[in-house]
A and B are shown apart, each in its own frame.
Chain A
Amino acid sequence: MELVIQGGRVMDPASGRDEVLDILIQGGRIKKIARDIPGSGKKIIDASGKVVSPGFIDLHTHLRQPGREDEETIETGSRAAARGGFTTICAMPNTEPPIDDPSLVEFVYNEARRCALVQVLPIATISRGRQGEDLSPMGRLKRAGAVGFSDDGDWVTDSNLMRRALEYVKMLNLPLISHCEDKTLTQEGVMNEGYYSTTLGLRGIPKEAEEVAIFRDLVLLGMTESRLHVAHLSTSRGVELVREAKREGLKVTSEVTPHHFTLTHKEVRSFNTNTKMRPPLREEEDVAALGQGLKDGTIDIIATDHAPHTLEEKEVDYVSAPFGIIGLETALGLVIRELVEKGTLSLMEALGKLTVNPARILGMPIGRIEEGAKADLTIFDPEKTWKVEGKEFLSKSTNSAFIGWELPGKVEWTVAGGKVAYQSRK
Chain B
Amino acid sequence: MSFQRKDLLGIEDLSPEEIIFILDTAKSFREILERPIKMVPTLRGKTVVNLFFEPSTRTRLSFELAEKRLNADALSFSSVGSSVAKGETLLDTAKNILAMKVDCFVLRHVSPGAPHLLARELDVSVINAGDGAHEHPTQALLDLYTIRERKGRVEGLKMAIVGDITNSRVARSNIWGMGKLGAEVRVCGPPTLIPPDIERMGVKVFYSPEEALEGVDVIMMLRIQKERQKGSLPPSLNEYKEFFSLTEERLDLAHEDALVMHPGPVNRGVELPARIADGRKSIILNQVTNGVAVRMAILYLLLGRRR
Contacts and interface: CB of A to CB of B under 8 A. Distances in A.
Interface of A: 187-188, 193-195, 197-204, 271, 312, 315-320
B237 interface: no
B113 A194 contact: no
Contacts of A204: 195-196
A271 B116 CA distance: 7
Interface of B: 12, 89-91, 109-114, 116-117, 131-135, 169, 172, 195-198, 200-201, 229, 231
B228 to A, nearest CB: 11
A194 B196 contact: yes
A157 to B, nearest CB: 17
A314 to B, nearest CB: 11
A317 B196 CA distance: 23
Given A195-B197, A315-B91, A316-B91, A201 B172 contact: yes
Contacts of A195: 196-197, 200
Top 3 A-B pairs, shortest CB-CB distance = A271-B113, A201-B133, A201-B134
A200 B112 contact: yes
A188 B135 CA distance: 19
B197 A320 contact: no
Given A187-B229, A199-B172, A271-B116, A319 B133 contact: no
B198 A198 contact: yes
A317 B90 contact: yes
B113 A317 contact: yes
Nearest to B132: A201
Contacts of B201: 198-199
A287 B197 CA distance: 19
Given A193-B196, A201-B112, A271-B112, A316 B90 contact: yes
B229 A317 contact: no
A317 B111 contact: yes
Nearest to B119: A271
A271 B196 contact: no
B197 A198 contact: yes
B113 A318 contact: yes
A317 B198 contact: no
A201 B131 contact: yes
B197 A318 contact: no
B195 A197 contact: yes
A154 to B, nearest CB: 20
Contacts of B133: 201-202
Given A202-B132, A271-B117, A319 B111 contact: yes
A319 B113 CA distance: 9
A187 B172 CA distance: 22
Contacts of B91: 315-316
B112 A202 contact: yes
17 contacts: A194-B196, A197-B195, A198-B201, A201-B131, A201-B132, A201-B134, A202-B132, A202-B133, A315-B91, A316-B89, A316-B90, A317-B112, A317-B113, A317-B114, A318-B111, A318-B113, A319-B132
A198 B198 CA distance: 7
Given A271-B117, A317-B117, A199 B111 contact: no
Contacts of A271: 112-113, 116-117
Given A198-B197, A198-B201, A200-B134, A188 B229 contact: yes
A188 B90 CA distance: 21
Nearest to A318: B113
Contacts of A199: 12, 172, 201
Q: Which of B109, B135, B195, B231 has the most chain A CB within a 10 Å cutoff? A: B195
B129 to A, nearest CB: 14
Contacts of B90: 316-317
A315 B195 contact: no
A319 B134 contact: no
A201 B169 contact: yes
Nearest to B131: A201
A320 B111 contact: yes
Given A271-B112, A319-B132, A198 B117 contact: no
